[in-house]
Amino acid sequence: MSDLSATHQPAGPVLAIESSCDETACAILAPDGTCLAQRVVSQDGHADFGGVVPEIAARAHLALLPALVEATLADAGLATTDLAFIAASTGPGLIGGLIVGTSFAKGLALALNIPFVAVNHVEAHALTARLPGIVPDGAPFPYLLLLVSGGHCQCIAVEGVGQYRKLGGTIDDAAGEAFDKVAKMLGLGWPGGPALEKLAQMGNPDAIALPRPLLHRPGCDFSFSGLKTAIAQKLAPYGQAPLPHQFAADLAASFQQAVADVVADRINHALDMMPQARLLVAAGGVAANTTLRARLEDVAHKRGLRFAAPPLRLCTDNAVMVGWAALETWHESAERGLPAPNNTTLRPRPRWPLEDMAQRFEPDQASA
């Protein structure tokens, strides 16, 4: 179940920081995981470049974070001296933003003489379904996670805290990246996912024939570059001329449907590889897409599984999931009789495979 036993909870609330991409976020969680306050700032300054510019993102985190932490503490009616520990996303992600968030969190933790807990951003997404109240009756291990975002598209067997098996992933573009690039081709700007979904609502998903990359192939890897190329070919005859609105809407709807078909097929294969799963979880920014959610829910229903996806505000990057992952790590360390985690020597890393997470619970790594 998702509940953290009272005997293994920290002595006070937790401050969590997320800065792995272009969202600057803070949250404060009670020892049982209840969210006491949270704030998220979606950075300006990237749209003109058609995507996230790492240097702009890092500078924005540096400018926003101190006041954002102060405001979040005020929202919760707490002072820094009330905190039991501080957590931050330490990887994977854009290294500049990770350095800013991690350094701020470490510095504050050292000043307060409390632990700092490093959080794997992907693990935070993986454990979000276990937050209190997200899934009725909780989300016990094991379950299958589909992580779909701008930077990730993976099927992950979640078998416990720190116990993950990657069953498949994208061999080229992530799903969110494909949405953004197709939206840009359609002249929808950035970020493109929500705009493309809105346009698709006015289109016919069966109007334009598009490929379904890797459909029915063994395994559960993904590929979206061929689908993106097919969209470019459909648009080529128009050159620089404005697109007819209905054609653009039909193309958006047909693209969205193709992605949903591919993902549903890949998830069925992943479930064949993980027959012990009784729950299918979708997380990440693209999990907010209503068409994709509906297809995944249908797959789960047909296979006799429960389906869960976090509320839309917890699909995109946020600090609530970071704080929860830290609490799960704290709890698991106590369950194993290990010291409370304190990762002040751990450096931010742009890549941090989930397979490495089990090392945290080896005795010689518990306080590294």
365 residue type, one letter: Q
Q: Note the helical H segments in 274-362.
A: 290-302, 312-315, 319-335
Q: Is 193 annotated as a binding residue?
A: yes
Q: Is 180 annotated as a binding residue?
A: yes
* Cis amide linkage into residue 242, ω under 30° from 0: no
Q: Is 40 annotated as a binding residue?
A: no
Q: Is 46 annotated as a binding residue?
A: no
Q: Is 147 annotated as a binding residue?
A: yes
Q: Is 367 annotated as a binding residue?
A: no
Distance CA 171, CA 279 (A): 25
Distance CA 113, CA 207 (A): 62
Q: Is 8 annotated as a binding residue?
A: no
Q: Give every CB contact of residue 161 below 8 A, 6+ residues apart in sequence.
A: 127, 328, 329, 331, 332
Q: Is 289 annotated as a binding residue?
A: yes
Q: Note the helical H segments in the chain.
A: 54-76, 95-112, 121-127, 175-185, 193-200, 225-235, 245-273, 290-302, 312-315, 319-335
Q: Which two tokens stand for residue 319?
A: 């600090």
285 has which bridge partners? none
CB 168 within 8 A of CB 357: no
Q: Is 29 annotated as a binding residue?
A: no
Q: Note the helical H segments in 136-191.
A: 175-185
| Residue showing tokens 């970071």 | 322
What b/e sequence results for 322-345 when a residue is b if at least 16 CB atoms lie within 10 Å of its CB, and e otherwise?
A: bbbbbbbbbbbbbeeebebbbbbe
Q: Is 103 annotated as a binding residue?
A: no
- What is the largest distance, in Å, between two alpha-carbon atoms of the chain? 66
Sheet with 153-160: list strands edge to edge.
Answer: 163-169, 153-160, 143-148, 279-283, 306-308
- Binding positions for substrate: 147-151, 180, 193, 197, 289
- Binding positions: 121, 125, 147-151, 180, 193, 197, 289, 317
- Binding positions for Fe cation: 121, 125, 317
